[in-house]
Amino acid sequence: MNRKKFLGVAGGAILVVAGGYYLQSDKSNFVREDFKGNFPEKIPLTADEKKILFLASLAPSGHNTQPWFVQYIEPYHWIIGNDKSKWLPGVDPTQRETVLSIGAFTQNLEYAASNLGYLCAFTILANNNQDEQILSVKLTKASNAPKYNIEKIKQRRTIRSNYLSEALKKADIDALVEGERDSFHWMPNTTKPYQYINEQTIEANRIQSYRDVAQKELANWIRFSSKDAEKHGDGLTTASMEIEGVSAWVLRNFYGKSSVMKKNFREQNIDTVRKQVAQSAGWLLITSKDNAVATLLDTGRRLQKLWLNIREKGIAIHPMTQILEETTTNAELNSAIGIKDPIQFILRTGYVKTYPQPVSLRRAVDEFVRR
């Protein structure tokens, strides 16, 4: 066999092997609609209860940990709990962000219940962020329950890329902060506070990316493969991180927890953040009067109300709270931008040309409901 013929045969063999590997590989991003959630039923919930609790679970949470559980007391009477196994002590050691997420869960629950004709009565049970029982809720059928549009809950999503830098229209800014002018603070991209938050967000991500405790925590919540994504129904996936094409294929098939700890992964994350903060109309900061449990729950609810109303305006938000999570950047934030009250959310905000469908995973209702 001459050299030319040998190279042709060898090249063909390589293509066959490569093609065979690709056909058996993890070929596409695993998204919410792919998740079957075949979890055994532990408690005989009604159809309405299942629907309400699933919609509630579409609330946002750090690393998509979904840090809640629901204790079933009786039909339409539950306790919303704080799932310690979903905490993020590396970046949220006081569980501040956990309680904010449970607040957003509560808001979704109330809206979903109202859509099906129920009113909710909530009672706060927790004295601190670490208490397991956060609040109880009783649902009562009522003819006067407002029928909330649950498509807003289903369509809510975080968008991380392709923000436009054009200024928000005054009417849209007014709508964002309506009734919240004491606690919603808009920092447009023409201001010094905007530039300061940009710079400090990059710095906080640099610090956090090289803080091994935080990086290991991140590694534990990334679901690189479709198999892991389907197994857990939570965490960060290539789809939710908006990684597509060949890059996503490589991550799904060749990356794992140890990859996250390598220098190139850390540096890529910092570079991604640098590109992200260069795109936006501004930052929206949400503050509260204090850090009490009731206040944090209410602040989480207010975030969710905001988030459910922006898609129709073509506005996206991306929570980037690393400044708050790192001691050195958090220490000077308030004084640097002239805000006295505790800052709970830092939201990169802007218009987007297209609004993709939600892709982040959610666990089956039967998985987070318990006796």
Q: What is the pLDDT of residues 99-112, one digit of tens each?
A: 999 999 999 999 99
- Examine domains 47-156 and 170-351 and report if their fold is the same: yes
* Cβ atoms of 255 and 32 closer than 8 Å: no
Q: Give the pair of three-digit tokens for residue 171.
A: 């009417």
Q: Residue 261: which residues within 8 A CB-CB, separation 6 or more?
A: 212, 215, 216, 219
How high is the pLDDT of residue 27? 85
How high is the pLDDT of residue 150? 98
Query: Taking the CA atoms of the chain, what radius of gyration do you get in angstroms?
Result: 22
Give the DSSP letter string of 254-268. Answer: H--HHHHTSHHHHHH
* Conformation bin of residue 341: beta by default, left when phi > 0, alpha when psi is -120 to 50: beta
CATH fold for the domain made of 47-156 = NADH Oxidase (3.40.109)
Please give the DSSP secondary-structure letter assigned to residue 357: P
How high is the pLDDT of residue 6? 41
Placement of tokens 């089956």 in the chain: 364
Residue 333 one-letter amino acid: L
Q: Where are the alpha helices (DSSP H) in 127-185?
A: 151-155, 170-177
Q: Residue 7: which residues within 8 A CB-CB, separation 6 or more?
A: none
* Of residues 227, 291, 247, 356, the one with CA closest to residue 98: 291
Q: Give the pair of three-digit tokens for residue 233.
A: 């129904």
How high is the pLDDT of residue 39? 72
How high is the pLDDT of residue 22? 62
Angle between helical axes of 263-277 and 192-209 (0-180°, round to 10): 170
Residues shown for the chain: 371
Please tell me the distance from the alpha carbon of residue 214 to that of residue 92, in angstroms, as a whole number. Answer: 10
Q: Which residues of the chain have pLDDT under 50?
A: 3, 6-7, 9-18
* Cβ atoms of 53 and 26 closer than 8 Å: no
How high is the pLDDT of residue 20? 54
How high is the pLDDT of residue 13? 42
How high is the pLDDT of residue 14? 40
How high is the pLDDT of residue 214? 99
Placement of tokens 């995973």 in the chain: 361
How high is the pLDDT of residue 8? 54
Q: Could you tell me where the beta strands, DSSP code E, fall in the chain?
A: 68-74, 77-82, 118-124, 133-141, 184-188, 222-223, 236-237, 282-287, 315-319, 343-351, 369-370
How high is the pLDDT of residue 18? 44
Domain boundaries, the chain: 47-156, 170-351
pTM tops 0.85: yes
Paired strand residues for 286: 184, 345
Q: Which CATH architecture has domain 170-351?
A: 3-Layer(aba) Sandwich (3.40)
Q: Residue 24: which residues within 8 A CB-CB, separation 6 or more?
A: none
